[in-house]
């Protein structure tokens, strides 16, 4: 059972409620929480929840904005972690600070992280952000699909507060079927492609759009292979490199040494029997 989010950019009205809800549950609101809302990140939310909308408006992901709505002409797209099926960040992290949970979210363990930022380098979607100005405890920041809320049976905050169902939460298989239905029912409205179905081996965030995905800022040049396979192919050669290389070097050493000994012996022989 792997959960996912289906984003239909044709539905999004750019109201930014998802952005503020995300800040609320992640403790990123600049102002202290308003009178109407408790600080509890695990409270139920709904499209009617009163949110501090003056906190919206980030245009780019940052350490304080793990979820942003970007306007491309008249089309809005919400960008956040894609929660890949075979995540690049999980594969590259030397200390295993990232993991893909069976429920779907890709989560980060800050206690393990040593701050090498290879995850930021490697992420094909350019998602992870860094707390550059924290001196001793900088963290990598990204959406965790509200993994803590999911364990309580709650949906990701962004999908709960959406008034137009532009982002819906559900099982990935179901959402793929739903997306295919929408493409079939309105073939002229949509670009006939589900972004995230196959990109880098598939993601747990899926996009539908009426305009090209590239125009919405989603990378168009991604392979369908999961990127970790590119490096793992190399890494799995290590045992053979070590054994073959060791044998080869040992062999060369033995031969060159033997040759030297033979040469020495021949020289002595010649000296003894001129």
| Site pattern 29..68 for another protein (x: CB under 8 A) | --------------------------------xxx-----
Of the candidates 15, 70, 7, 5, the residue with the CA atom closest to the CA atom of residue 47: 15
Q: Are 70 and 59 in contact (CB under 8 A)?
A: yes
- Which of 72, 112, 177, 184 is in the footprint of another protein by CB under 8 A? 112
- Which of 1, 38, 238, 272 is in the footprint of another protein by CB under 8 A? 238
- Residue 164 binds to another protein (criterion: CB under 8 A): no
- Residue 161 binds to another protein (criterion: CB under 8 A): no
Q: How far is the CB of 90 from another protein (least distance, A)?
A: 8
The region of 2-10, 22-30, 125-133, 202-210 touching another protein under the rule CB under 8 A is 125-133
- Residue 240 binds to another protein (criterion: CB under 8 A): no
* Residue whose CB is less far from another protein, 138 or 170: 138
Listed in sequence order, the residues at least 6 apart from 131 whose beta carbon sits closer than 8 Å to its beta carbon are 63, 137, 138, 139, 141
- Which of 1, 38, 114, 272 is in the footprint of another protein by CB under 8 A? 114
In DSSP terms, 126 is beta-bridged to none
Q: What is the DSSP letter of 224?
A: S
Place of tokens 């990204």: 142
- Residue 215 binds to another protein (criterion: CB under 8 A): no
* Residue whose CB is less far from another protein, 122 or 161: 122
Q: How far is the CB of 170 from another protein (least distance, A)?
A: 28
Place of tokens 């992280």: 113
Strands 3-8 and 167-171: antiparallel
3-state secondary structure (DSSP) of residue 68: strand
CA angle 159, 93, 121 (to 5 degrees): 75
CA dihedral sign, ordered 229, 231, 236, 240: positive
| Rounded CA separation 154/184 (Å) | 31
* Residue whose CB is less far from another protein, 120 or 210: 120
Which residues contribute to the site for another protein (CB under 8 A)?
61-63, 88, 90-96, 112-118, 120-122, 124, 126, 129-138, 219, 221-223, 227-228, 230-232, 234-235, 238, 241-242, 245-246, 249-250, 252-253, 256-257, 259-260
């Amino acid at each position: 059972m792997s959960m996912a989010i289906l984003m239909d950019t044709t539905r999004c009205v750019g109201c930014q409620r998802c952005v503020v809800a995300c800040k609320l549950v992640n403790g990123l609101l600049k102002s202290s929480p308003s009178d109407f809302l408790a600080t509890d990140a695990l409270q139920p939310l709904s499209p009617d929840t009163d949110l501090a909308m003056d906190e919206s408006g980030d245009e780019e992901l940052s350490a304080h904005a793990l979820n942003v709505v970007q306007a491309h002409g008249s089309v809005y797209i919400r960008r956040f972690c894609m929660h890949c099926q075979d995540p690049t960040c999980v594969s590259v992290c030397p200390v295993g600070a990232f993991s893909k949970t069976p429920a779907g979210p890709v989560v980060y363990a800050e206690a393990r992280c040593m701050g090498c930022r290879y995850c930021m380098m490697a992420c094909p979607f350019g998602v992870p952000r860094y707390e550059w100005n924290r001196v001793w405890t900088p963290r990598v920041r990204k959406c965790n699909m509200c993994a803590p809320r999911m364990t309580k049976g709650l949906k990701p905050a962004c999908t709960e507060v959406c008034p137009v169902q532009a982002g819906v939460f559900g099982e990935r298989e179901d959402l793929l079927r739903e997306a295919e239905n929408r493409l079939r029912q309105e073939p002229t409205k949509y670009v006939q492609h589900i972004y995230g179905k196959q990109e880098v081996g598939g993601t747990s965030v899926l996009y539908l759009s009426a305009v090209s995905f590239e125009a919405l800022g989603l990378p168009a040049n991604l392979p369908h292979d999961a990127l970790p396979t590119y490096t793992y192919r190399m890494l799995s050669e290590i045992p053979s490199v070590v054994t073959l290389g060791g044998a080869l070097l040992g062999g060369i050493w033995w031969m060159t040494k033997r040759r030297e000994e033979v040469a020495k012996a021949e020289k002595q022989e010649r000296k003894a029997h001129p």
